[in-house]
């Protein structure tokens, strides 16, 4: 089942649990606007290259639309649509005053030079500048993009609209980015894990973890879990996987990686087959890479008791059912990885206020938002008699439905 079908299925199940009428259900599912643009740039060798860029603006009942921009060869309209919809429910679960959007360009960023990437980003911004804005739609980085990409968007947008730091989040600190934004998704994953384990009388310290992905989210989650006394016993990325039953030395592994070393060459670990990573013995499994990695083939063999969905839609619906029957507790993506959008909201607030917060305040506020969302999800699970995924979906969908009805938009 593709990402859009899976997300829409979860939405419909939540709408049924909430008893939403069919007209409202339909209007919540249909995106506000879908934008497709052709971006043609001169390559460094003088030839022309064309790329398709997308922006799907899903819903703005609760505030400006918010969502990342992904540069990846497999970016397609269905996936962008699914991710835009997920953002609508995610911002509502997090209780930040935003709607949902997502964008992307079908390209291989690793095969483009820095100046080609800059030209592509600027052309994309020229094509969508009148459809985004601090109070309309606020992009952020996602896979294949970073703070430099946001700096180029900010600069190009400002040529049309004047100085507008709040038009994007995830910017470099020197251009109005927030302290703590880089670590925010991984830190949110750590706070979410802490909250879930505490519910079950457990803690990070004394638990074992397996992490897939060692990029922004995975490396921060690993570092912060390690700092809290958790044992990361296996870890993998696109180059391979490693394990150490006594716990990997994450600071040493970070140093090794930052010096250009491949994961499999880390001295204090044993290389393992990547196909074994997700089914490795552990208390907590944290997928931090791609979508759809847990499926009907590997779900029956999962040994973790808890899964924290740091990646977007890592568990397909068939795997969800299998894991639920096995008694595995899954903490859903629309809550587990919301730390990034929560600190993006803090960045936007700081830009609008023209006042910068210190990192301690950012982390403290993030902790408050993550804990509060967890308590609200638990309350929904109780009132709707459902699992955590449906608890999060019913919470998010209900908040968006209420805003839609209050505005009188349901007709």
Closer of 85 and 216 to ligand NAD (Cβ): 216
Q: Tell me the closest approach of the beta carbon of residue 384 to ligand NAD, in angstroms.
A: 25
383 is in an annotated binding site: no
216 is in an annotated binding site: yes
CA distance 178 to 159: 23
Pick the binder of ligand NAD from 289, 294, 395, 397 (CB under 6 A): 289
Pick the binder of ligand NAD from 101, 282, 311, 401 (CB under 6 A): 311
Q: Is 96 in contact with 327 (CB distance < 8 Å)? A: no
CA distance 144 to 160: 26
Scanning residues 344 to 373, which ones bind ligand NAD (CB under 6 A)? none
Catalytic residue from among 26, 36, 102, 264: 102
Scanning residues 262 to 281, which ones bind ligand NAD (CB under 6 A)? none
115 is in an annotated binding site: no
Task: By CB under 6 A, tell whether 211 contacts ligand NAD.
Answer: no
Going by C-alpha positions, the residue among 32, 10, 8, 12 that lies closest to residue 20 is 12
Closer of 338 and 398 to ligand NAD (Cβ): 338
Instruction: Classify the phi-psi angles of 325: left when phi > 0, otherwise alpha if psi is within -120 to 50, otherwise beta.
Output: alpha
Pick the binder of ligand NAD from 118, 194, 237, 316 (CB under 6 A): 237
Pick the binder of ligand NAD from 99, 103, 180, 236 (CB under 6 A): 236
Closer of 37 and 290 to ligand NAD (Cβ): 290
90 is in an annotated binding site: yes
Closer of 30 and 262 to ligand NAD (Cβ): 262
Q: Is 397 in contact with 89 (CB distance < 8 Å)? A: yes
Name the closest residue to ligand NAD (Cβ): 215
Pick the binder of ligand NAD from 57, 312, 315, 394 (CB under 6 A): 312
Q: Tell me the closest approach of the beta carbon of residue 274 to ligand NAD, in angstroms.
A: 6
CA distance 30 to 32: 7
Name, in order, each residue with C-beta under 8 angstroms of 153's C-beta and a sequence gap of 6 or more.
69, 121, 125, 139, 167, 168
Pick the binder of ligand NAD from 232, 288, 299, 401 (CB under 6 A): 288
Closer of 61 and 310 to ligand NAD (Cβ): 310
Pick the binder of ligand NAD from 4, 105, 217, 286 (CB under 6 A): 217
Q: Which span (17-25, 152-160, 286-294, 362-370) binds ligand NAD, by CB under 6 A? A: 286-294
Site string for ligand NAD, 118-147 (x = CB under 6 A): ------------------------xx----
Task: By CB under 6 A, tell whether 213 contacts ligand NAD.
Answer: yes
Catalytic annotation on 102? yes
171 is in an annotated binding site: no
Scanning residues 313 to 342, which ones bind ligand NAD (CB under 6 A)? 337, 340
Question: Residue numbers of the site for ligand NAD (CB under 6 A)?
Answer: 142-143, 185, 212-218, 236-238, 288-290, 310-312, 337, 340
Binding residues for substrate: 66, 90, 344
Positions marked active-site:
102
Residue positions forming the annotated binding site for NAD(+):
185, 216
């Amino acid at each position: 089942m593709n990402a859009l079908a899976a997300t829409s299925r979860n939405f419909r199940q939540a709408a049924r649990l909430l008893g939403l009428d069919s007209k409202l259900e339909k209007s919540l599912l249909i995106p506000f606007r879908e934008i497709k643009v052709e971006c043609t740039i001169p390559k460094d060798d003088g030839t022309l290259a064309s790329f398709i860029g997308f922006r799907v603006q899903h819903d703005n009942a609760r505030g400006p639309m918010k969502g990342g921009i992904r540069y990846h060869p497999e970016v397609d309209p269905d996936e962008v649509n699914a991710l835009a919809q997920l953002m609508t429910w995610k911002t509502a679960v997090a209780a930040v005053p935003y709607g949902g959007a997502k964008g992307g360009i079908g390209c291989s960023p690793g095969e483009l030079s820095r100046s080609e990437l800059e030209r592509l980003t600027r052309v994309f911004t020229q094509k969508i500048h009148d459809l985004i804005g601090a109070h309309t739609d606020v992009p952020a980085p996602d896979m294949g993009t970073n703070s430099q990409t946001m700096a180029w968007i900010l600069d190009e947008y400002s040529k049309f609209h004047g100085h507008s730091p709040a038009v994007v989040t995830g910017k470099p600190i020197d251009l109005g980015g927030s302290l703590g934004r880089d670590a925010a998704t991984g830190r949110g994953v750590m706070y979410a894990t802490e909250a879930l384990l505490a519910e079950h009388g457990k803690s990070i310290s004394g638990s074992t973890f397996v992490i897939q992905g060692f990029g922004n989210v995975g490396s921060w989650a690993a570092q912060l879990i390690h700092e809290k006394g958790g044992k990361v016993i296996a870890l993998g990325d696109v180059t391979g996987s490693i394990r150490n039953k006594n716990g990997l030395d994450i600071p040493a592994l970070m140093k090794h990686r930052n010096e250009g070393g491949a994961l499999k060459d880390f001295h204090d670990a044993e290389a393992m087959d990547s196909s074994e990573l997700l089914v490795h013995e552990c208390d907590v499994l944290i997928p931090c890479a791609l979508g759809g990695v847990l499926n009907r083939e590997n779900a029956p063999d999962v040994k973790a008791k808890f899964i924290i969905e740091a990646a977007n839609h890592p568990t397909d619906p068939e795997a969800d059912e299998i894991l639920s029957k096995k008694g595995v507790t899954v903490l859903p993506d629309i809550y587990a990885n919301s730390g990034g959008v929560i600190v993006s909201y803090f960045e936007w607030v700081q830009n609008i206020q023209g006042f910068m917060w210190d990192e301690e305040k950012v982390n403290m506020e993030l902790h408050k938002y993550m804990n509060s969302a967890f308590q609200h999800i638990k309350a929904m699970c109780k009132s709707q008699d459902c699992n955590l995924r449906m608890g999060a979906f019913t919470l998010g969908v209900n908040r968006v439905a209420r805003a839609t009805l209050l505005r009188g938009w349901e007709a």
